[in-house]
Amino acid sequence: MAYDGVDVVHDASMTLRPGEVTVLVGPNGSGKSTLLRTLARLQRPRTATITLDADTDGLALSPREFARSVALLTQGRPTPSGLTVRDVVEFGRYPYRSRWGKTDPGGTAAVDRALAMTDMASLAERGVEHLSGGQLQRVWLAGCLAQETGVLLLDEPTNHLDLRYQVELLDLMRDLADGHGIAVGAVLHDLDQAAAVADRIVLLRDGRVIGDGDPEDVLTAERLTETYGIRIEVDTDPLTGHLRTRAIGRHHSRSERLSTQS
């Protein structure tokens, strides 16, 4: 994959499986979002294949056909004005509407399910300009769910959310995989969040996949230290049982600070 003739991602491949959460991690500029956007066909690759359902060529499908299989929650969506929550979620039904947008037999039920899954049903008639950032993110996610796809891609979905909404969104990702069999692929910056929510981790550096597997196998101290260029320690959180990472800066050691001060 390339921007302006410059290759950004090289020889990268990944598989999203139904009922699993796969998380892409890596430093800024490593190609995470580019790879995700390529899977969603927003970034046209020079040479690549996208295979759906074992034998369907995703690049050969029409945009409408592809949107019935893959949904993408992008970064930085604007806040529309003059629209209700339900209006926005209904945008997700565009792959199923007739040419003039008047016929969509399953639309109402799909939108209702999406609103319920994201806990936004009680706010369905509220104007979206009156929502918090976390609520608005749920609305956009509900729109993706209303597409009723088997694959859901999320590009840095926890960005700019407070701690509560981050945790709730990560829980929802697991619910979608575990309870609905959706193949979830997400880009996350927070390594602890990635370790907590993912079945599989894909670690990228300089546009190449350098680790792909269970969080315990990919997120090792040695590999992360080399990848991020800073000392990173890894252990297990005794409360949750998940991996826990700590980046160690020059001033992060209390004993070293006390020694310097003395």
CATH number of the domain that 28 lies in?
A: 3.40.50.300
pLDDT in tens, 73-105: 998 788 888 999 999 999 999 999 877 667 788
Say if CB 117 and CB 172 are below 8 A apart. yes
Give pLDDT, residue 253. Answer: 63
222 part of a folded domain: no
Give pLDDT, residue 46. Answer: 65
38 part of a folded domain: yes
Give pLDDT, residue 256. Answer: 55
243 beta partners: 236
pTM: 0.88
39 part of a folded domain: yes
Terminal-to-terminal C-alpha distance of the chain: 53
pLDDT in tens, 213-259: 999 999 999 999 999 999 999 999 999 999 999 999 887 666 555 55
Helices (H), 57-199: 63-67, 85-90, 107-117, 133-146, 163-180, 191-197
Sequence letter at residue 47: T
Mean pLDDT calculated for residue range 9-23: 87
Mean pLDDT calculated for residue range 193-216: 95
Q: Residue 118: which domain range?
A: 2-214
Distance between CA atoms of residues 84 and 90, nearest Å: 10
The 10 Å CB-count burial string (b at 16+, else e) for 167-194 is ebbbebbeebbeeeebbbbbbbebbbbb
Mean pLDDT calculated for residue range 133-146: 93
Domain count, the chain: 1
Alpha carbon 9 to chain centroid distance? 18
